Structure 1
Amino acid sequence: MKTILQTCRGFDIQAWMNFYDSWAETYEQDVEVLSYRAPQLAVDFLDANFCGIREEVQVLDVACGSGLVAKLMSELGFKHFVGVDGSKGMLDQAEKNGLYRDLKLALLGPEPLPAQRGAFDVVILVGALDVDYAPVSVVRELCSASKPGGFICMSRKNHVGKKSEEYKQDLERELQLMEEEGLWSPVGIKQEERYMMDVTAHSEEKYVGGNVYLYKKSAE
């Protein structure tokens, strides 16, 4: 699996979605082998900072994939999920777990986020913030979908390379700008050294770090 992922570098977003379509049926087993901890890290950080009645919360799971985030959140008492992903194959897998009341197919960036403004108590996006996936502009759409006082949780791996470093700088500049504009306030940023296994390592097991960002939308 590491070798396959290495060959995918440089894909555009549609090529990535085609790849995920073909990967969907074995995705969850494979990412477990890769020690992909991002969903657990994001959900744990959200849960540690969330106050509210979980059973009543409306959750928008963006780039939901096969539904790993919803599975973890459901174990904590969250029950109402809408999922969005660009891969039809992944959405088919997510539908099988029976947790989502609705699943929507959309490419983040090329297509608007198919979510009602101000409708969700929690908006969560795990792993799609990088070059060739979701553009930085998506974070404003996440904020827009949140209710006033709602939480927006995002995680991303610390990818290597000039383009990814530029993306991270652009992302954090946009997050700061949105704070200055009064759209939201930061709850916290958590840095993780063991975000997932490094698929670029050819022999020994190495890990790459990542960040989990958590914001609270301002009251209107």
Structure 2
Amino acid sequence: MDASKRDIQQVQKTIASAHKDCSLTQKMQFYNHWAHDYEEDVSILDYNAPRLAAVALASMYPSNHEEKLVLDIACGTGLVAQELQRCGFKLFHGVDGSEGMIQVAGGKKLYKELKKCMLGHEPLPSPSDYYDAVIIVGALSDGQVPSFVIPELIRVAKPGGFVCLTTRCNPSNLHYKAQLDQELSVLQNKGLWECITVQNVEKWERAISEHEAQKESDYISGVIYLYKKSEAFPCTD
């Protein structure tokens, strides 16, 4: 669909649908159908998370970005990998639950490997202690990937590797964010990883309703977390 035929109200309605409670089959049907319009829609929403998260992760490496193997979880159409490539990364594996999204991502020829995975319903199809960096952008929110999956992200990262994750701070996602923050803290208290930085972002994306928007703004805010897996806790399969 041409951008001229699609306005912000249509896109907001579509985004709202992504967070509705429904069966897993219905959720995947939605994402499969959305795959070909997804990038147009998030562009209209001024979705900044992929770029900001990629820059945040890149800042952890003073050099040799091209040698780091990155797992892009809930990779969608490959927007995060595109931004990471702009930052100098070249080696990507991706996983996503939607076959439609994977097909679009695969067409970009960015990923060395792409696999289907219903995170939250099955473990990641990856060995433990394998990736230099793990990143998940946009999927950790209400109605999407549950917060209890975080140990899986830690498992597949190398000891000393980085994990970058994001969530939204809009009103309807605050309960989820509180659960996520608690999960992150519990795992740090167990010594599995350490928090490197938490970056709050005011202009995350345009709000899908007036209720979700910040005061004097039509944007919602978001947050980027960067953690480093403990050298002392390699995982075993």
TM-score tier, shorter chain, comes to over 0.9
Residue of 93, 99, 110 corresponding to 2:110: 99
What is aligned with 2:15?
5
Q: What is the CA–CA distance in structure 2 between the aligned matches of 1:52 and 1:216, rounded to whole Å?
A: 17
What is aligned with 1:183?
192
| Alignment gaps of 5+ in structure 2 | 1-10, 233-237
Aligned residue runs from structure 1 range 25-174, under 5 A: 25-161=36-172, 164-174=173-183
What one-letter code is carried by the residue in structure 2 that aligns with 1:207? Y
Percent identity reads: 40
SS in 2 for 1:193: strand
Number of equivalent positions: 218
Q: What is the CA–CA distance in structure 2 between the aligned matches of 1:13 and 1:210, rounded to whole Å?
A: 27
Q: What is the CA–CA distance in structure 2 between the aligned matches of 1:10 and 1:177, rounded to whole Å?
A: 28
What is aligned with 1:218?
230
Question: Which shows bigger deviation, 164-173 or 82-91?
Answer: 164-173
What is aligned with 1:192?
201
What one-letter code is carried by the residue in structure 2 that aligns with 1:214? L
Q: Would the aligned equivalents of 1:13 and 1:132 in 2 still touch at CA under 8 Å? A: no
- 213 and 117 in structure 1: CA distance in 2 versus 1, 3 angstrom threshold: same
Q: What is the CA–CA distance in structure 2 between the aligned matches of 1:121 and 1:73, rounded to whole Å?
A: 14
Instruction: Summarize deviations over 1:122-172 as a string: whole Å, max 9, x none.
Output: 1000011122211111111001110001000001111323xx333211211
TM-score (structure 2 length as normaliser): 0.86
- 152 and 7 in structure 1: CA distance in 2 versus 1, 3 angstrom threshold: closer
Question: Which shows bigger deviation, 131-140 or 210-219?
Answer: 131-140
| Per-residue deviation, 1:9 | 4.2
| Alignment gaps of 5+ in structure 1 | none
What one-letter code is carried by the residue in structure 2 that aligns with 1:194? K
Indicate the RMSD between aligned Cα atoms, in angstroms: 1.9
